[in-house]
Amino acid sequence: MSAVLDSAAAPAAAAEAPSAATPSHDRKWLGLTVVLAATLLNLLDASIVNIAAPAIQADLGASYSALQWTAAAYTLTLAAGLLTGGRLGDIFGRKRMMAIGIVAFVTASVLCAVAWSPEALIAARVLQGLAGAVMIPQGFGLLRDMFPPHEIGKAFALFGPAIGLATILGPIVAGTLVDADLFGTGWRMIFLINVPIGLFALLAGRVALPAKPPVAHDKSLDLLGLTIGGAGMFMLVYPLVQGQEKGWPAWMFGMLAAAVAVLAGFVAYTLRRTRLGVKAPIVQLSVFTKRSYSSGVLFVIVFFGTITGLSMAIGLFLQFGLGFSAMRASLTMAPWAVGAFIGSGASGALMGKLGRKILHIGLTIMAVGIAGLYAVFANASTDLGSWTMAGPFLVFGLGMGMIFVPLFDIIMGEVADEEVGSASSSLESMQQLAAALGVAVFGTVFFSQGGAHLHQQSALDAVATTALIALVLTVVAFAVGFLLPKHARQGGH
């Protein structure tokens, strides 16, 4: 879902653009397809692993925690890397870093495809996350370089439909590739599909992206801050993923406590750099003094952790519990994506008039959909079919989609223009961390209640529990939403 938030960030990111007219760029629309392709790579690899999880387990003999790490390793590494990924473009040039990011992402994808063990696959997913952290933040800056102010809105307007379509088709394509077993590749093709997309982006980028000089006068890079922040995130997620498998030894609770201390140390370190006048701190902590932003970060963590974790749990249930093929599982969940596509379009038309109310409307509809899923799972018989879940999935997706478009602008309601860049990257980092936490928490609950050997009834009990947890967290997000400003930032759409 990260790319959806990226697209919603576009108007706020555009506010950073200089007032002077941007020079005309002859190949700007081809350049736009490069940015879209990079976004598509991230969107696919953040979600398609859930569809392929049973096939990966069968082929590599992965444990349940290893399956969780296959998903969480990417989002967790991306979360940490995004803290400084945009800065690399400012220092070394956006076109150069986009190209390096694409090459690294494609290379890591090939390593994922040839992985010979769960550990090798997880390591390759870490490399994918690092590459994504270099690649993704360059997109909006490149668009500002290519499009003059009067046209940039048209470019950003294409992101919503493109990403919405990818959200619908991505899992279906993944399921098709796994079931098709092209050339005997099985699940490995979900990573190899990145190769032609990446090669197109690389070749088109060479001729279409503008090669402007770096914009940063200060070339410093806060690697120590990145290390401290990344270590704190890892220490927070690791016990949640491994706890069930290792029997929750005392040291894991100690690691959770230490994670809080390390993250507090990261804040103290950043504050000290700011007080000393050190340029380019990894995060501008001043944005957290704004109620709209600090409450918005909490909203993002709850909201995205919920939808990412529940999505994983349901995907696992459909295949492990009901024995669906990857293709049937993806088609069963397709109404969810269709609902999100419709909801995004509806909220785009209503957000100017309704403001924050659109979030509460979306959360209410989303809660109805989750309650419907809980009712289905809690009262299901042995012949639970795809159509039984279609209605609740559609309603859930409709409410969820209504939140994507206005969320970023509303959160940025009190952020000053000079803070937008840091605020945007930090918020995206928190969203990726939320996804990793969602996978860890919901995955742990699902596999803990489902038992060591999942069967239909135990999987039904497990997925019903995760749906109930998601419903409670949606209510929490509803309450947190009242802390956000009533309308989007001035100058946003």
Task: Render pLDDT for 313-342 as a digit per residue (tens, 0 to 9).
Answer: 998 899 888 888 888 888 898 899 889 888
Task: Render pLDDT for 19-75 as a digit per residue (tens, 0 to 9).
Answer: 344 444 568 889 889 998 998 888 888 777 878 888 999 899 988 889 889 988 999
Nearest in space to 394 (alpha carbons), one of 449, 462, 349, 342: 342
pLDDT band at 356 (very low <50, low <70, confident <90, very high): confident
Alpha carbon distances (Å) from 76 to 232, 241, 275: 11, 12, 29
- Render the burial of 396-425: b for 16+ CB within 10 Å, e for the rest: bbbbbbbbbbbbbbbbbbbbeeebbbbbbb
pLDDT band at 160 (very low <50, low <70, confident <90, very high): low
* Contact in structure between 433 and 426 (CB atoms under 8 Å): no
- Please name the residue that has the structure tokens 């296959």: 70
Q: In CATH, what number is assigned to the domain containing residue 199?
A: 1.20.1250.20
User: Are residues 350 and 440 part of one domain?
Assistant: yes
User: Are residues 326 and 275 part of one domain?
Assistant: no
- In DSSP notation, 225-258 reads HHHHHHHHHHHHHHHHHHHHHHT--HHHHHHHHH
SS3 content of the chain, % helix, strand, coil (to 5): 80, 0, 20
pLDDT at 8 over 50: no
User: Are residues 247 and 308 part of one domain?
Assistant: no
User: Are residues 274 and 140 part of one domain?
Assistant: no
Q: How confident is the model at residue 141, as a pLDDT?
A: 78
User: In the chain, how many domains are there?
Assistant: 2
User: Are residues 108 and 153 part of one domain?
Assistant: yes
Does residue 303 sit within a domain? yes
Average pLDDT, the chain: 83
Domain residues for the domain of 258 are: 222-279
Q: How confident is the model at residue 330, as a pLDDT?
A: 86
As a whole number of angstroms, the distance between CA 56 and CA 51 comes to 10
Q: Which residue has the higher pLDDT, 490 or 493?
A: 490
User: Are residues 160 and 56 part of one domain?
Assistant: yes
Choose the final residue of a domain: 232, 260, 279: 279
Does residue 255 sit within a domain? yes
- Render the burial of 347-381: b for 16+ CB within 10 Å, e for the rest: bbebbeebbbebbbbbbebbbbbbbbbbebbeebe
Amino acid at 307: I
Does residue 492 sit within a domain? no
User: Are residues 375 and 242 part of one domain?
Assistant: no
Does residue 486 sit within a domain? no
Does residue 487 sit within a domain? no
User: Are residues 357 and 382 part of one domain?
Assistant: yes
User: Are residues 253 and 114 part of one domain?
Assistant: no
User: Are residues 406 and 274 part of one domain?
Assistant: no
pLDDT at 294 over 50: yes
pLDDT band at 218 (very low <50, low <70, confident <90, very high): low
Does residue 443 sit within a domain? yes
User: Are residues 43 and 14 part of one domain?
Assistant: yes
* Contact in structure between 466 and 391 (CB atoms under 8 Å): no
